[in-house]
Amino acid sequence: MQDAVRIGIDENGLGPRLGPLIVTGVVAVTSGDGHARAESRPRGALRKRLDDSKKLVAYRDNALGEAWARAIARRMGHGDLTTPEAVVHALSLDGADELRAPCPPEHAAQCWSAAGESFGCDPELLALVERDLARLEDAGVNVTRAACVVACTRRLNEGVSRGLTRFHMDLHAMERLVLDMRAVAGRDVVATCGKVGGFDRYAPAFGPLGGRLHVVSEEGRARSEYVMPGLGRVAFVRDADAKHLLVCMASLVGKWVRDVLMGRIVRYHRVDNAELPDASGYHDPVTTRFIEATRLTRRKRDLPDDCFERKAVGDSPPVSGVVTKVVEDLAADEEKAPRSTSARRRASGSSRPW
């Protein structure tokens, strides 16, 4: 069997009140036994360092995610990047100007100031993860690239104003990654994405892939897969972040990127109040206290609400003709994940499209 280009894609931060949505893809060229290995759960000692990110890391305890991000960036040819900011920009699908474009200039530092950032993983862990990647390459899984789409709070809220749910935004970011990675690879790809909202049918909700010729391979609660001429195969798989090696890797990298960017929001507001709690941004008591404690200073600074806290679809009039069903069960499950390192499986959504 010839080698193949495989992609694993997952999201981090679908359900929070604060901070960005991060959608991450990891690319590998597979050969021999690596075809099956890339499509299966990590095994053996590797599972201690590569599994569902909700099992292995927690907010502010994410050295492992950092190690994977830095090790993959090195394999991409970026060398020894010396700051988290440099790694984030090396992985971002969009350049710095595009990331900052929605920001009011006077408040850009809330999301993009790297002051006070530093790496958290020790050299031994980074070296261990680099050896893991080398062993995977020997086993037929050559990881060549990772890339992230960063959707900040304002971009998410702009989507809401157009009648789009967070699930639309997640799906469309996944589509962008598949298209970009196919273009870079120069040949068809096999892409596996985490299920978005637990839906069966995706084609009616496609954005960047909308209108593209495709054949439905299967559509079901556990897996929905599409064959697209000139692109390859794109599958959406339930619990992929727990049973697909490349999706596991994407989940860990994306979790670290989100933590870096959420940390910037906390530091920005601590300029006015050094006692602010270390909020994760999720629906938890600490984040609620953080939001309440910053309310007066945000007004004083004239910080737009839509740059700070996410809106729900119902908070803004939907655009005519756009269906805006929100799957709250999935959001609630996602929101609880950072508070525990135990597994919390995603709730199933409706079998209907958005």
pLDDT in tens, 184-222: 999 999 999 999 876 789 999 999 999 999 999 999 999
Q: Is the pLDDT of residue 145 over 60?
A: yes
Residues 92-103 have a mean pLDDT of 96
Which amino acid is located at 313 in the chain? V
Domains of the chain, earliest start first: 4-253 (3.30.420)
Q: Is the pLDDT of residue 320 over 60?
A: no
pLDDT over 70 for what percent of the chain?
A: 86
pLDDT in tens, 4-41: 999 999 999 999 999 999 999 999 999 999 999 999 99
Q: How far apart are CA 297 and CA 270, in angstroms?
A: 10
Instruction: Give the per-residue pLDDT at 338.
Output: 43
Least confident window among 42-51, 124-133, 313-322 = 313-322
Exposed (0-12), middle (13-18) or buried (19+): which is 219, by Cβ within 10 Å? middle
Q: How far apart are CA 181 and CA 39, in angstroms?
A: 18
Least confident window among 56-60, 112-116, 229-233, 261-265 = 56-60
Give the β-pairing of 189-194 and 4-12: parallel
Instruction: Give the per-residue pLDDT at 54.
Output: 74
Residue with tokens 């709070």: 153
59 pLDDT band (50/70/90 cuts)?
low
Q: Is the dihedral of CA 91, 265, 123, 253 positive or negative?
A: negative
Mean pLDDT of the chain: 87
Q: Is the dihedral of CA 199, 203, 206, 208 positive or negative?
A: positive
Residues 62-85 have a mean pLDDT of 96
In a 3-state reduction of DSSP, which class is residue 74?
helix
Give the β-pairing of 232-237 and 223-228: antiparallel
Q: How far apart are CA 237 and CA 175, in angstroms?
A: 15
8 Å CB contact between 16 and 282: yes
Q: How far apart are CA 305 and CA 116, in angstroms?
A: 25
Instruction: Give the per-residue pLDDT at 40.
Output: 93
Which helix H or strand E contains 38, and what residues bound it?
Answer: helix 34-38
Instruction: Give the per-residue pLDDT at 55.
Output: 74
Residues 313-342 have a mean pLDDT of 38
Neighbouring CB atoms inside 10 A of 234's CB total 26
* DSSP-assigned states of every residue in 288-305: HHHHHHTHHHHHHHT--G
Distances 170 to 23, 66, 144, 276, 329 between C-alpha atoms, Å: 7, 22, 23, 30, 16
Which helix H or strand E contains 134, and what residues bound it?
Answer: helix 123-138
* DSSP-assigned states of every residue in 296-345: HHHHHHT--GGGTBPPPGGGSPPPTT------HHHHHHHHHGGG-SS--P
Instruction: Give the per-residue pLDDT at 115.
Output: 94
Residues 242-262 have a mean pLDDT of 95
8 Å CB contact between 280 and 338: yes
Which helix H or strand E contains 218, and what residues bound it?
Answer: strand 215-219
47 pLDDT band (50/70/90 cuts)?
confident
Assigned token pair, 241: 């972040």
Predicted TM-score (pTM) of this structure: 0.88
57 pLDDT band (50/70/90 cuts)?
confident
